[in-house]
Structure 1
Amino acid sequence: MNNNSAHNVRLRDVIETDLPLFYENQQDPIANYMAVFTAKDPSDRKAFDAHWSKILGDETITIKTIVYAGHVAGSVSCFEQFGQLEVTYWLGKEYWGKGIATKALSEFLDHVKARPLCARAAKDNIASIRVLEKCGFQICGEDKGFSNSRNHEVEEYILKLG
């Protein structure tokens, strides 16, 4: 990541006008394939709206919008799953490969002090695994689950941050 990218990434609270951009990002078939565990029907706007209404109304979920060079690039969040705190992020495909996810997750981890934190990534999502490892996560296990976007069971790594 070059220094220019690092200076152009910031996190802020999610606002209503971010949601159409998040929905648009969710429509990309390649992003869905890489994210693996996605909505059953990414084009279902009612389900998307209900999901985000639930997320934004849940005080136990920490979620931030990722802004890059003044544009909404994606989101990063922390929530409880399987009895553990887990982080996840989503970037619009046009923002991939620029170090934005690493910088955003790093800033988010400065904000979320709870540890340990877990994350999950499909074994073939090398870029996401690298982002997590650059932010201090280490592979601690494996799992598999049904992927709506791939329509079959997918193997994933479980990663943990101290």
Structure 2
Amino acid sequence: MTDDVARDISLRPLTEDDVPALFDIQLDEEAQQLAAFTDARTARDADAFRQKYRKILADDAIVNRVVEIRGEVVGSVATFPIEGDTELTYWIRKDWWGRGVATAAVAALLDEVTERPIHARVVEDNAGSVRVLERNGFVRVGSEDSFAPGRQATVTELIFRLGG
């Protein structure tokens, strides 16, 4: 870590008031490229993004947290059910990349969400996210090729699991 930000990170429940900040954070084109699986319908439309988050916030099975550093929203981290599994997702504002924020935020959520196993997926060329997962104890268990709307191409996704 180039900054000792881990001690300054806090998580709190995401509210609808946080959605505009999260929308702005996800607008970064490089981040969308690395994430690859952004929703093309909501990535550029603030109203559609807000509607998507209203559904997310109404789902009690989703644990969705805002990541803050010294009170400033810098991203989000969540777990959600999908096809019988629990999956991890996170998004950190680009100016905080490479400083241990995602690693610390994931660790904090994993302290809260104790259910295991938890799965995560990352496009194989997203080395930063691979490191975040590995630093939090996730192990690569497979891969699959999938169409990524954010890239309009088929990509290889690496599949990770923690526990179980």
TM-score, normalised by the number of residues in structure 2: 0.95
Q: 1:59-138 residue pairs with structure 2 within 5 A?
A: 59-138=60-139
Q: In structure 2, what is the equivalent of residue 149 of structure 1?
A: 150
Is the alpha carbon distance of 1:54 and 1:15 closer, same or farther for their aligned partners in structure 2, counting shifts above 3 Å?
same
Distance 1:145 1:101 in 2: 24
Tell me whether 1:56 sits opposite 2:47 in the alignment: no
Moved more, 36-45 or 58-67: 36-45
TM-fit CA distance, 1:143: 1.2
Write out per-residue CA displacement over residues 65-118 of structure 1, whole angstroms, 9 at most, x where no aligned residue: 000122101000001113210000001111111100000100100000100000
Larger deviation, residues 8-17 vs 50-59: 8-17
2:2–2:98 contact (8 Å) kept in structure 1: no
Aligned residue for 1:4, secondary structure, equals: coil
Partner in structure 2 of residue 33 of structure 1: 33
Q: Report if aligned partners of 2:20, 2:46 keep a CA contact under 8 Å in 1.
A: no
Residue 39 of structure 1: how far off its partner (Å): 1.1
Identity %: 39
Q: Which ranges of 4 or more aligned residues in structure 1 deviate by more than 3 Å?
A: none
- Once the two structures are TM-superposed, the CA of residue 150 in structure 1 deviates from its matched residue by 0.8
CA distance in 1, matches of 2:149, 2:48: 15
Distance (whole Å) between structure 2 residues aligned to residue 40 and residue 145 of structure 1: 15
Structure 2, unpaired ranges of 5+: none
Structure 1 window deviating more from structure 2 (66-75 vs 103-112): it is 66-75
Q: Which moved more, 1:97-106 or 1:13-22?
A: 13-22
1:41-67: CA deviations, max 9, x gaps? 411222211110010000010010000
The TM-score with structure 1 as length reference comes to 0.96
Q: 1:5 is matched by which residue type in structure 2?
A: V
